[in-house]
Structure 1
């Protein structure tokens, strides 16, 4: 009898030791990456401060890119959620930590001076490294055009990074970001100079881009913040938040492109 009990015990233990078994021989074609967007940030501090904040202080990002040298640090595995987006929204999706990858670039952001904010430029090698990383991410996750966005895009009421000196056009030239045709913009700008659209039109076009925008027809502070975020990306010489003919032309041309 003791021998029988011992045999049964060993059999049960053997079954437990075998663990969970899952058959992976069938794969559904109806699937895609959980990553929908890549959000770009600047850190507002130097490399040592950036590493300290992003690894110890309750916020994080998947990647950090140094300035000199432009070393790429992986701080959070892409399969896990990083705490970089905060309260955010884009294209109707909210709280984007769950569906985005965050990339922080070491950059001190801006200094307040008597003449206003003075932003720090990004190094060439840093942007070169960023482009290589973005191309790899876009390819692996099959991300469509328009999937690379700034923190200021998803939180225009409280964030300005990566700021007006971030070279979005370089990313566009690398095939990573949609960019409006300058001739089409000039043509539409001349037309809008004769008759500027209503504030409601601007709000609708900004929402089509993906921004969370009031739909009131009133040029309030929130709407100006969204316009400024858009201008900071596509018209960096002037981002005053005012709805003008050039901004209208940029919106119209961009909204006619795949994104």
Structure 2
């Protein structure tokens, strides 16, 4: 409900019941309900995306066209949109209640007969508008860097969007998300090539990053899907789900530096 409509409703209620509400005091102990911003692709063109996001039970707060990169606000930020589904990040679950959803018009991928996926790129104009929108949302909701995640981060067992061609590094360069320092990655990778950590170490590091991942020390399908989601974000040239030296280095380089490394 927009603020003007809410004020009108309160006035009507006051007239009907005699209730008077004093808004002259404001509590210090409050913050935005928004904890995360979740990025998606629509897997369809603009007309179909608008139809799906306005005429069905699926919704998002914003939809970004591609050419031109028009920003559509479909759900008020104070209300819940149905974009995340069964999801988890940093111990929080069912993130519809604590996130803003942004859908980017993008066809996703086409799959060849042999199972090879051909992904659709994101136009530069669309990414520039997205970064502007994200900076505004982060500032207004007082969100720290790292609050922006992909659908594949919060639901790695069933989702792959926004896909390997989404330019996460551009968001890092804009100060919106953390990014592993290349020198630290090179240093750690050299060490890990001499001896790779156990699967349990990878699971623990992924959990500390925010992913919901098994912690049983086995390289099962669920763990591989989480590894693929992480690799798709930070190493999109190869996301095979294998716990290799470079993936270990990327995970460790995202942690704060300890002592003299």
TM-score, normalization: structure 1? 0.92
The residue aligned with 1:135 is 135
In 2: Cα distance, 1:89 partner to 1:212 partner: 6
Displacement of 1:20 in angstroms is: 2.9
The residue aligned with 2:61 is 62
The residue aligned with 1:126 is 126
1:248 maps onto 2:241 in alignment: no
Displacement of 1:23 in angstroms is: 1.7
Question: Could you list the runs of 5+ residues in structure 1 that have no partner in the other structure?
Answer: 1-14
In 1: Cα distance, 2:16 partner to 2:54 partner: 36
Q: Given the superposition, is the C-alpha separation of residues 19 and 72 from structure 1 closer, same or farther in structure 2, using an over 3 Å criterion?
A: farther
Count the aligned residue pairs.
243
DSSP 3-state at the match of 1:255: coil
The residue aligned with 2:155 is 155
Q: Given the superposition, is the C-alpha separation of residues 170 and 25 from structure 1 closer, same or farther in structure 2, using an over 3 Å criterion?
A: same
In 2: Cα distance, 1:248 partner to 1:96 partner: 28
The residue aligned with 1:202 is 202
In 2: Cα distance, 1:199 partner to 1:29 partner: 45
- The within-5 A match list for 1:83-232 is 83-114=82-113, 116-232=116-232
In 1: Cα distance, 2:15 partner to 2:170 partner: 56
Question: Could you list the runs of 5+ residues in structure 2 that have no partner in the other structure?
Answer: 1-13
Measured against aligned partners, the alpha-carbon deviations of 1:142-180 in whole angstroms (never above 9, x if no partner) come to 001110000000000000000000000000001101001
The residue aligned with 2:46 is 47
Measured against aligned partners, the alpha-carbon deviations of 1:223-259 in whole angstroms (never above 9, x if no partner) come to 00000000000000000000000000110111227xx
Measured against aligned partners, the alpha-carbon deviations of 1:187-211 in whole angstroms (never above 9, x if no partner) come to 0000011010000000000000000
In 2: Cα distance, 1:253 partner to 1:158 partner: 27
Aligned-residue CA RMSD in angstroms? 1.2
Displacement of 1:114 in angstroms is: 3.7
